[in-house]
Structure 1
């Protein structure tokens, strides 16, 4: 099925906003936006997937663009392609889950949390070692040969960081977007209110 021109425009705008927000966060928050403990503020934009399926390719493309740019900023070189591929995959799966579960917004917003918590920590130890992190943060446990421990650490910290972003920023963002004329007709909160009656 071919996309309509307005859907293509939505994909482009969402991708540009996600990439810009990520790069601004990386520049100002440093390793808090990309590192062992992540609060990638741009992930709050996954809430847009509650309103339009165009958010799925838009967020995925935006994540890929931001992660490609981050290869230059962080100095990860070719290893940064892990983040381009698998980080973008996590964003894609999270956004797809959000769209599929849009009738239940609080559940839907868990999609990016789970996808990022399970996928990102699988390759993060490799990237961290390449950029100068040699121990699990706040411990003296070496990353060398400690992949299972680092993965568990990453599941917890990435999951918590993503949950904070999705529910503290993403949920209020989605409530605000639901009041705009552009998204009012596709608001999942409208259905929520009707179901409560």
Structure 2
């Protein structure tokens, strides 16, 4: 029962934040369409994140995991609405497939990672969003690795145990974010149709 209460409250808060983000003041018809598009993208990414985690549940939870949905953590390079979408998706996936503890710490790690990834959105290495892929690796390794050691380990949370869990979580994040996430961003940036779907058109100032 408590799990579903948390899911409901979190969903309401996330929807509120998403609406506030999407409803940036812009009274033009184009602005109205952009607000709608942001809300749709936010909901779509949250849903995709949850489906990927639950469909690939054996790989999505635990100390040794490759959560493929984490590749979506790179999407904030295309807009702040993806911060809400990915964080909401992570929260719901953890609530449905893990524990309340993971809802708190796992979602916190994803939120912090998405915020820093957004800050690094324009940084590229040989055209690739490699710097933006590092925050999810670091935050999840540190926070989720520590969480597993303290709350889910059968042995005391010694420094070697904690470092081992951080390493295993970090390796999974490298696969999901530094490889798959970077490739996803590159694919979107180089494919005209995907770019129309994921990226807002740049507004040019009136002459």
Q: Deviations over 1:132-189 (max 9, x none)?
A: xx3xxxxxxxx1x2342221111111111101111221111111111224246679xx
| TM norm structure 1 | 0.75
Query: How far does residue 6 in structure 1 lie from its aligned partner after superposition?
Result: 2.4
| Equivalence for 1:83 | 102
Aligned residues: 162
Counterpart selection for 2:181 from 170, 178, 183: 170
> Is the 2:21–2:81 contact (alpha carbons within 8 Å) kept by the matching residues of 1?
no
From the superposition, tell whether residues 186 and 97 of structure 1 become closer, same or farther in structure 2 (CA, over 3 Å): farther
| Equivalence for 1:49 | 76
Q: Give the 5 Å matches for 1:27-66.
A: 30=58, 32-66=59-93
Query: How far does residue 48 in structure 1 lie from its aligned partner after superposition?
Result: 1.1
> Is the 1:51–1:186 contact (alpha carbons within 8 Å) kept by the matching residues of 2?
no
| Equivalence for 1:191 | none
Q: Give the 5 Å matches for 1:63-142.
A: 63-71=90-98, 80-104=99-123, 105-129=129-153, 134=154
Q: Deviations over 1:109-146 (max 9, x none)?
A: 101111101110121134534xxxx3xxxxxxxx1x23
> Is the 1:121–1:150 contact (alpha carbons within 8 Å) kept by the matching residues of 2?
no
- Cα RMSD over matched residues? 1.9
> Is the 1:39–1:161 contact (alpha carbons within 8 Å) kept by the matching residues of 2?
yes
- The CA distance in 2 between the partners of 1:118 and 1:41, in whole Å, is 19
| TM norm structure 2 | 0.72
> Is the 2:79–2:199 contact (alpha carbons within 8 Å) kept by the matching residues of 1?
no
Q: Comparing both chains, which one has the higher relative contact order based on Cα–Cα distances under 8 Å and sequence gaps of 6 or more?
A: 1
> Is the 1:53–1:99 contact (alpha carbons within 8 Å) kept by the matching residues of 2?
yes
- The CA distance in 1 between the partners of 2:75 and 2:100, in whole Å, is 26
- Deviates further, 54-63 or 44-53: 44-53
- Unpaired runs of at least 5, structure 1: 72-79, 135-142, 188-197
Classify the secondary structure of the residue corresponding to 1:109: helix
